[in-house]
Amino acid sequence: MASVTFQNVWKRFGELTIIPDLNLQINDGEFIVFVGPSGCGKTTTLRMLAGLETPTYGKIFVDDEDVTLTPPGRRDAAMVFQSYALYPHMTVRKNLAFGPAIRGEAKSDIARSVDKVAQLVGLDKLLDRRPAELSGGQRQRVALARAMIRRPRVFLLDEPLSNLDASLRTQMRAEITQLQRQLGVTTVYVTHDQVEAMTMGDRIAVFDKGRVLQVATPAELYRSPASKAVGTFIGSPNMNILPASLQHEGETVRFDCLGTSFGVAAREFSGSLPQVVELGLRPDEIHWTKDAPSRCSEKISGTVTAIETTGSETFVLVDVAGTLINSKFPSFAPIHLGDQVNLVFDANDLYFFDGVSGVNLRLGSKEPSVV
């Protein structure tokens, strides 16, 4: 096991800056997930840790060892790729044994290691098959086992589940998480899927345009996003962003939003509020009046423009004065396109963002004192 430190790391390709000044600490034994949209720099960061890319500036440490210029084979890090990268002409046993054999380990030690790791990931009955005879999930297990057999200090996974179907991804998420807990190896996992990030990581680093916007536990990211960018990325469906205007009334700040008005104690906000403010509200916190908690008192109404039913849930897109609001309705609610519906929410469920910078104006508790 090992800790990892990125210290003032930059990565440039010619004039293009991919990673500007990354500082990040990964704890010993931690399972951290890098998440963000395509092209945000998360895979480049992982490849620099693996030694497949060299930082333009800055340093990378594993424990107290500077590995910035250390070749990949000497970093004691094992990487699992999206494509599995198995040798198609070799059996599972030979795929697992290939790395230890190249490193000159004794045949008896290799055989014991192969049997142990194969049993750990459920491959013990498949050791004599070739990759073409395996399912996608089984091939993924082989790739994981091949990395694990090295007993690395750091385990790196680059979107390893993206080639699997939805049900198998769910199963493999649980298996990888369980394996990491059993092994206790420091693990860095890259994905663009925020559901994977939320269900797997001890902590999550949210990337955007090469920068880490926030590093926190899944609960902290969901409940206290540092910015609108984090708030809208984390959570499915996406957080609603509502236009609002404000005015100060002594110790109270009054907000007007889509035809409803409410006040929040000024002490709930740090410093002076900007002139432009946007409000965030998650779809499961805005309700149809026929299915609303009694605490919800702020009312808006609009026209149904889309309905998405997943079985256990129904999400309804409502046009409220030109703003599209996604709201969670009861499963198979009796509504239709074009219906007029009334929605309610509790102002205590709102997030308050700077309309220009997107910064969360309340990074403490989410529950302001509505007056």
pTM, two decimals, is 0.88
Between 313 and 341, the higher pLDDT residue: 341
How many angstroms separate the most distant Cα atoms in the chain? 79
CA–CA separation, 148 and 1 (whole Å):
12
Task: Give the model's pLDDT for residue 369.
Answer: 56
Q: Where in the chain does DSSP place strands (E)?
A: 4-13, 16-26, 31-35, 57-62, 65-66, 77-80, 154-158, 186-191, 203-208, 211-216, 240-249, 252-257, 260-265, 277-281, 286-288, 298-309, 314-320, 323-329, 340-345, 351-354
What are residue 263's DSSP bridge partners? Answer: 254
Torsion of CA 234, 237, 238, 244, to 10 degrees: -130
CB 293 within 8 A of CB 303: no
Task: Give the model's pLDDT for residue 366.
Answer: 57
Crossing angle of helices 136-148/92-102, nearest 10°? 20
Q: How confident is the model at residue 368 (pLDDT cuts 50, 70, 90)?
A: low
Nearest residue to 275 via CA among 352, 359, 356, 370: 356
CA–CA separation, 142 and 144 (whole Å):
5
Name the residue with tokens 């704890």: 27
Q: How confident is the model at residue 120 (pLDDT cuts 50, 70, 90)?
A: confident
Task: Give the model's pLDDT for residue 145.
Answer: 87
Q: Checking phi first, is residue 103 left (phi over 0); if not, alpha (psi -120 to 50) or beta?
A: alpha
What is the location of CATH 3.40.50.300 in the chain? Answer: 4-232
Cis peptide before 237 (omega within 30 of 0): yes
What is the location of CATH 2.40.50.140 in the chain? Answer: 237-354
Please give the single-letter amino acid code of residue 232: T
Residue 53 to residues 16, 47, 105, 119, 143, Cα–Cα distance (Å):
15, 5, 28, 34, 21
The values of phi and psi at residue 328, to 5°, are: -85, 120
Specify which of 22-26, 72-76, 89-93, 120-124 reaches the highest per-range mean pLDDT. 22-26
Specify which of 158-162, 262-266, 323-327 reaches the highest per-range mean pLDDT. 323-327
Q: Could you read off the pLDDT of 47-61 as tens digits, one per residue?
A: 999 999 999 999 999
CB 239 within 8 A of CB 230: no
Q: How confident is the model at residue 151 (pLDDT cuts 50, 70, 90)?
A: confident
Nearest residue to 281 via CA among 225, 198, 199: 225
Crossing angle of helices 107-120/136-148, nearest 10°? 130
Between 96 and 120, the higher pLDDT residue: 96
Average pLDDT along the chain: 90
Q: How confident is the model at residue 322 (pLDDT cuts 50, 70, 90)?
A: very high
What number of CA atoms fall less than 13 Å from residue 146's CA on the CB side? Answer: 27
Q: What single-letter DSSP state applies at residue 360?
A: B
CATH for 4-232 (3.50.50.60, 1.10.10.10, 3.40.50.300, 3.40.50.2000): 3.40.50.300
Pairing type for strands 252-257 and 240-249 reads antiparallel
Q: How confident is the model at residue 182 (pLDDT cuts 50, 70, 90)?
A: confident
CB 149 within 8 A of CB 127: no
Neighbouring CB atoms inside 10 A of 112's CB total 11
Name the residue with tokens 């790729």: 81
Tell me which CATH homologous superfamily contains domain 237-354.
Answer: Nucleic acid-binding proteins (2.40.50.140)
